[in-house]
Amino acid sequence: MAMHLALSCSSIIFEVLQKRILNKPMIIWHEYRLHAMVFTLRCVSVYAWALYKPLGDTWATRAAQFVLVFAHHLVVDEITRRHGPNDPTQTTVRVNGDSTPLTKAVLRFYAFY
């Protein structure tokens, strides 16, 4: 799991675009890279939480795990607010109506696999 997190975070050494190019879905941009790091951290956090179960298998453990996961999503929302597009209808990974057919196909492929 540490290697999984390290791989995601190692992308910070590369220079990427600050904003998304809508008709080139395979190019990584800053917001997407930050999302990937936080979601990978979420994965590692849930794994560690389940592995160690600091509160045992209780209702409190499950509630705390929910808060842990929810906190990661709040961080991602803040990343989008700071680094995302000015147009709130544009999303990081969803297909928009004004996308080209190739863009739609690529994004739909990644949405399911």
pLDDT per position as a tens digit, 30-88: 888 999 999 999 999 999 998 888 778 888 888 999 999 999 999 999 998 898 887 76
**pLDDT of 102 higher than 90:** no
Alpha carbon dihedral 48, 54, 56, 59, in 10-degree steps, equals -90
Query: C-alpha distances in angstroms, 19 versus 11, 45, 53, 61?
Result: 16, 28, 39, 39
pLDDT at residue 13, as a whole number = 93
Alpha helical stretches, state H, 1-113: 2-9, 30-52, 59-83, 101-112
- Half-sphere CA count of 21, side-chain side, radius 13 A: 8
Residue 25: how many other CB atoms lie within 10 Å: 20
Give the closest residue to 86 by CA, choosing from 17, 20, 11.
20
Model-level pTM? 0.74
Q: pLDDT tens digits for 6-46?
A: 999 998 999 988 887 777 767 788 888 999 999 999 999 99
Can you give the pLDDT at residue 83? 87
Find the farthest-apart pair of alpha carbons in the chain and give their distance in angstroms, rounded: 50
Q: Residue ranges of the domains in the chain?
A: 2-9+26-88
